[in-house]
């Protein structure tokens, strides 16, 4: 790796750390925000979710134009988004400002990945999976650093100061990027036409990502069903008119796998602090240490991903990770005491290779897709967990709490459901009722204990429910391994021969 490439790689690494700083800070503070601003579990899930799905908007849009406007200009936009988001979040006085601040940071995060994934894939065309794993060690590295800083501050330090920690990596990557020269994308170097890049995604790939983006934007701005469908048809129709192909079947299959993969990794990471708080309190520890711990495991594993890839192949590594993730989540849902750390170790190792290895496979198998195939894969994962994954974990808790309090009332002839649940609310997953945090604070000690027990059991149930997702992933990877074995084995595609 030349000196200029080395500087570019580490600038990309720190920019990715900036994106994870924001994610980790939200994960550490979401419970405090919930109490401070009387948020429901579903609203908390929506705040975590909006930190993910707008990512898809910028990563896809910039992927279409980034080779024209240049990577440097895109990074300026990302820098502005990160600064603006931090200021808005620090000034937040309720759900709306938290939502807006998180929305803007997600736009910046998507822009960062629209740049760094194709840039690193271009620098290392022969070892994409290995170097993308090392690049994405920046994500857990950010978790570990900001987690240590925030937790060291303790619970008495005001949450605005903790949010301000995000300025550290933002300023560093901003300075580093000033004089760097980005490479010409591998696709452009090889002379692959722009239209050929679009054809790799095809009509079905466009339908998947466009439908998700339009439906979520429509949900936020209250589009009618007719307008939502019309926009999808028009956008995909125009795309289809030019490409006139359904897309690469293998690429479409990989896109679909990103739904359970993203929720297994990022959806759980969004909620793990809140979900494990009751059990970690029994150990006398803040739940944030659990996310720091699993992130440290992930960081180390990604730095040594090349060894694992060489021994297991990319698909073998993903299959092993899926099996361990399913077992780790089930174990985590029933663990108490020191067993929590053992379960977290299994889960931390399991999730380490998911995201960058999938991007690496796309880069190795579809080099003609350039920035677009790489970044649509990431975009689908982010928007999938943002729209459904993160919200699902909150929604599942609210529905379980609603059911269990109602059952308790029927057995014990009490009125807890009437006194402590909110009016019916709506989300993308349907209607729900949630615990009223402000009323719960006023509850008598005996009733509060009952409500806390029901709430804690709902958190464990959410982890158990999501364990089915890595099982689905395992089946998919085994199918792919059988497919490639029938073709003579997995190997990366040379762009000159594609």
pLDDT for residue 473 is more than 90: yes
Given this model, what pLDDT does residue 238 score?
97
Q: Cα 373 to chain center, whole Å? A: 18
pLDDT tens readout for residues 369-427: 988 999 999 989 888 877 777 677 778 888 888 888 888 888 888 888 888 888 887 77
- Tell me how far apart the alpha carbons of residues 424 and 422 are, in angstroms, rounded to a whole number: 6
- Tell me how far apart the alpha carbons of residues 174 and 167 are, in angstroms, rounded to a whole number: 10
In a domain, 74, yes or no: yes
Kindly state the average pLDDT of the residues 338-361.
90
- What pTM does this model have? 0.83
pLDDT tens readout for residues 46-103: 887 788 778 888 888 888 898 888 888 899 999 999 999 999 999 998 899 999 999 9
Given this model, what pLDDT does residue 390 score?
66
In a domain, 436, yes or no: no
Average pLDDT of every residue of the chain: 88
- Tell me how far apart the alpha carbons of residues 153 and 173 are, in angstroms, rounded to a whole number: 24
Given this model, what pLDDT does residue 99 score?
93
In a domain, 364, yes or no: yes
In a domain, 439, yes or no: no
435 backbone dihedrals φ, ψ, rounded to 5°:
-65, 135
- Cα–Cα nearest to 128, from 486, 379, 369, 384: 369
Kindly state the average pLDDT of the residues 333-354.
87
Tokens of 396: 């599942």
In a domain, 12, yes or no: yes
> Would strands 425-427 and 430-432 be described as parallel, antiparallel, or unpaired?
antiparallel
Strand segments (E) across 352-481: 425-427, 430-432
In a domain, 102, yes or no: yes
Given this model, what pLDDT does residue 497 score?
66
pLDDT-based confidence at residue 498 (cuts at 50, 70, 90): low
Given this model, what pLDDT does residue 256 score?
95
| Number of domains, the chain | 1
Q: Which domain holds residue 373?
A: 3-395+466-486
- Cα–Cα nearest to 54, from 278, 261, 213, 237: 213
Look up the CATH number of the domain holding residue 97: 1.20.1250.20
Kindly state the average pLDDT of the residues 418-440.
79
In a domain, 259, yes or no: yes
pLDDT tens readout for residues 106-157: 999 999 999 999 999 888 887 888 999 999 999 999 989 998 998 888 878 8
In a domain, 406, yes or no: no
pLDDT tens readout for residues 5-36: 888 999 999 999 999 998 889 888 888 898 88
Kindly state the average pLDDT of the residues 278-292.
80
Residue 25 near residue 150 (C-beta atoms within 8 A): yes
- Tell me how far apart the alpha carbons of residues 253 and 451 are, in angstroms, rounded to a whole number: 43
């Amino acid at each position: 790796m030349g000196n200029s490439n080395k500087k570019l790689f580490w600038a990309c690494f720190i920019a990715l750390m900036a994106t994870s700083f924001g994610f980790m800070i939200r994960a550490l503070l979401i419970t405090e925000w919930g109490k401070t601003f009387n948020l429901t579990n579903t609203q908390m899930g929506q705040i975590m979710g909006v930190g993910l799905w707008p990512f898809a908007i910028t990563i896809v849009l910039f992927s279409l134009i980034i080779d024209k406007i240049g990577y440097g200009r895109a990074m300026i936009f990302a820098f502005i988004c990160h600064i603006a988001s931090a200021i808005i979040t620090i000034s937040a006085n309720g759900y709306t400002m938290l939502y807006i601040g998180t929305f803007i940071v997600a736009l910046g995060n998507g822009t960062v990945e629209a740049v760094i994934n194709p840039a690193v894939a271009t620098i290392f065309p022969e070892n994409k999976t290995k170097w993308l794993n090392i690049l994405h060690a920046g994500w857990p590295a950010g978790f570990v650093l900001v987690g240590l800083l925030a937790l060291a501050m303790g619970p008495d330090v005001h949450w605005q100061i903790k949010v301000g920690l995000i300025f550290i990596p933002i300023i560093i990557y901003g300075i580093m990027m000033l004089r760097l020269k980005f490479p010409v994308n591998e696709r452009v170097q090889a002379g692959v036409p722009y239209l050929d890049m679009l054809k790799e995604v095809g009509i079905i790939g466009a339908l998947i990502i466009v439908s998700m983006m339009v439906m979520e934007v429509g949900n936020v701005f209250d589009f009618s069903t007719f307008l939502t469908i019309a926009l999808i048809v028009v956008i995909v129709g125009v795309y289809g008119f030019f490409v006139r192909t359904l897309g690469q079947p293998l690429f479409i299959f990989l896109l679909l796998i990103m739904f359970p993969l993203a929720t297994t990794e990022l959806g759980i990471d969004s909620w793990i602090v809140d979900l494990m708080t009751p059990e970690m309190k029994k150990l006398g520890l803040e739940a944030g240490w659990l996310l720091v711990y699993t992130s440290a495991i992930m960081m180390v594993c990604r730095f040594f991903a090349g060894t694992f890839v060489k021994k297991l192949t990319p698909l073998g590594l993903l299959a092993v990770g899926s099996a361990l993730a399913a077992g780790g989540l089930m174990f985590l849902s029933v663990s108490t005491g020191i067993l929590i750390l053992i379960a977290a170790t299994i889960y931390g190792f399991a999730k380490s290779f998911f995201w960058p290895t999938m991007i690496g496979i796309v880069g190795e198998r579809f080099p003609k897709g350039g920035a677009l195939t790489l970044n649509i894969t990431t975009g689908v994962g982010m928007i999938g967990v943002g729209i459904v994954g993160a919200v699902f974990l909150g929604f599942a808790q609210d529905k379980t709490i609603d059911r269990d309090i109602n059952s308790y009332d029927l057995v014990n002839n009490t009125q807890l459901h009437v006194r402590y649940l909110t009016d019916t609310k709506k989300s993308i997953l349907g209607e729900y009722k949630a615990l009223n945090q402000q009323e719960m604070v006023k509850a008598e000690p005996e009733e509060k204990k009952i409500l806390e027990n029901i709430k804690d059991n709902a958190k464990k149930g959410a982890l158990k429910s999501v364990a089915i997702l890595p099982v689905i992933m395992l089946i998919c990877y085994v199918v792919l391994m059988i497919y490639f074995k029938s073709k003579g084995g997995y190997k990366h595609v040379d762009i000159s021969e594609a």
